[in-house]
Structure 1
Amino acid sequence: MFKQLILLCALSMPLVSCAATAPFSGEISTQELLSDYNKFNEQYKAYTPTAQDIALMQKLEGKELIVLFGTWCHDSEREVPKLIKLLDASKVELASIEYVAVGYNKQDDAGIAQANDLQYTPTFIVKQNGKELVRVIEKPTGTLAQDLTQGL
């Protein structure tokens, strides 16, 4: 009996450790993201936007921005800090911005990812009056500023 109990405990350990390491999901501020996630902070510090990209960001004035990403995702670690730096440098005034972290299943408890048909992370969605204008998925084809403002 004692051996069976030991075996059961040993087999249960991976389940407990997986639950403890589940990624954060839900809305998060840029301050929390940069202070709690080292790789995001390192990328933020390392990125220097061009004057042209900073100027392009003004096209987002008055728009809504939704950023769906994973704290566990290498593409998110690369692209989300670039967005934060671009927004900081440009000082563009958005109507609203939401940073929503998702779990490995690409879902969040509030259903924001599902409502915006998230398939890949990160996904940046620019809206105006609730209507989607631009969607950038995973990695921009040009610079992030160029892709976010394409057609605006």
Structure 2
Amino acid sequence: MKSFLNLFICIISYTTVFAQTLNHEVIDPEGHPKLLGLINKEGLQKDTYKAWFDANHDHYIVNDQLVKTFSESLKDYKIKVFLGTWCGDSKKEVPRFYKVLETANYNLDNLEVIALDNQKEHYKQGPNGEEKGYNIHRVPTFIFYKDDKEINRIVEHPIETFERDIEKIVTDQPYRFNYIAANYIQHLLATKTIDQLNTEETKLVAQLSEFVKGSRELNTLGYVYLRTKAFDKALYTFKLNTLIFPYKSNVYDSLGEAYFITNNYTEALINYNKVLALKPEDKNALEMIQKINLAIKQ
């Protein structure tokens, strides 16, 4: 009885919508603590997170001479960071980013840090929708603003180092961040209808094939749309991924899942059978086909 009550309390704690409070910690249904919403360095140095934050912060050797070349220019920028305290890349990169900013004597009042979730129903979302409008599909993401306009961003990890990447961004040098194909799709889906995009499909597939970093790039974006119930955008993104990577079983698995969730069992079956054509013993595809057939009979 006691364990059931503890689980119930954890679920209530996790699912309650809370006001915007600094360094708000929740316990997910599996018993894992995480920060959600607006946070700062003090929150990241709480006991739960201190070990990985301090280790990655203190052990990073900053290129002091390079920082001196952009520290003055950096003062004109505001920065917004989206991370996950559950995310390996965030644990590694965010402490290093803090150390570079501190070396540059950057005013941390101009830094806003937002922790996102990893639960399926809240995938890469903030507790109050803080991520909306920022095209976040990977964490960490570091967005640089000047005069309230986004200038550039660093996505997941630097192209070279934080020092070199920041220097390029704040001194107006050419800089292209990671996963630019996913960001381009986000832009297109925000500015055009899917019918319009379907007429440009062949050209778009050819363009994206040059820039996309493997099948996981658009797959991750598709799940961001799927978990936020933007089903048309999710289906479009997953379908586009199958056209770019027709030999990858995982792209058909994701498209099949999206069709299943939207109750299009015919298309779901088609895609899970494509998975089996490429990977005959795929356990998930076999289980999903059984599940779909049961749903059809009902």
Q: Do they fold alike, i.e. is TM over 0.5? A: yes
From 112, 117, 130, the equivalent of 1:98 is 112
Percent pairwise identity? 27
Distance apart, 1:92 and its partner CA: 2.5
| Structure 1 segments unaligned to the other structure (5+ residues) | none
Based on CA coordinates, which of the two structures has the bigger radius of gyration? 2
The residue that corresponds to 1:66 in the other structure is 80
Counterpart pick for 1:25 among 33, 36, 52: 36
Q: Distance in 2 between matches of 1:98 and 1:18?
A: 24
Whole-Å separation in 2 of the counterparts to 1:47 and 1:122:
17
In 2, Cα distance between the equivalents of 1:112 and 1:148?
A: 24
Counterpart residue identity of residue 122, structure 1: P
2:121 counterpart of 1:107: no
- Identify, as 1 or 2, the structure richer in helix: 2
Contact 2:63–2:163, Cα closer than 8 Å, also in 1: no
Checking the alignment, whether the CA contact within 8 Å between 1:57 and 1:86 is kept in structure 2 is no
Q: Structure 2 unaligned runs (5+)?
A: 12-26, 172-298
Q: Which residue is 1:135 aligned to?
A: 153
Question: Does the residue aligned with 1:121 lie in a helix, a strand or coil?
Answer: coil
Q: Displacement, 1:67?
A: 0.7
| TM-aligned CA deviation for residue 137 of structure 1 | 0.4
Cα distance, 1:56–1:138 mapped onto 2, change above 3 Å: farther
More divergent stretch after superposition (50-59 vs 95-104) = 50-59
Closer/same/farther in 2, CA of residues 130 and 22 from structure 1, 3 Å limit: same
Q: How many residues align?
A: 142
Q: Counterparts of 1:77 and 1:57 in 2: how far apart (Å)?
A: 25
Query: Is the 8 Å Cα contact of residues 61 and 94 (structure 1) preserved in structure 2?
Result: no
- Residue aligned with 2:106, SS: coil
Letter in 2 for 1:31: E
Q: How far 1:124 sits from its partner (Å)?
A: 0.3
Higher relative contact order at CA 8 Å, sep ≥6: structure 1 or structure 2?
Answer: 1
- State the 1:117 CA deviation: 1.2
- Contact 1:68/1:102, CA 8 A, preserved across alignment: yes
Q: What is the Cα deviation at residue 147 of structure 1? A: 1.4
In the alignment, residue 82 of structure 1 is paired with which amino acid?
R
Q: 4+ runs of 1 displaced by more than 4 Å? A: 15-18
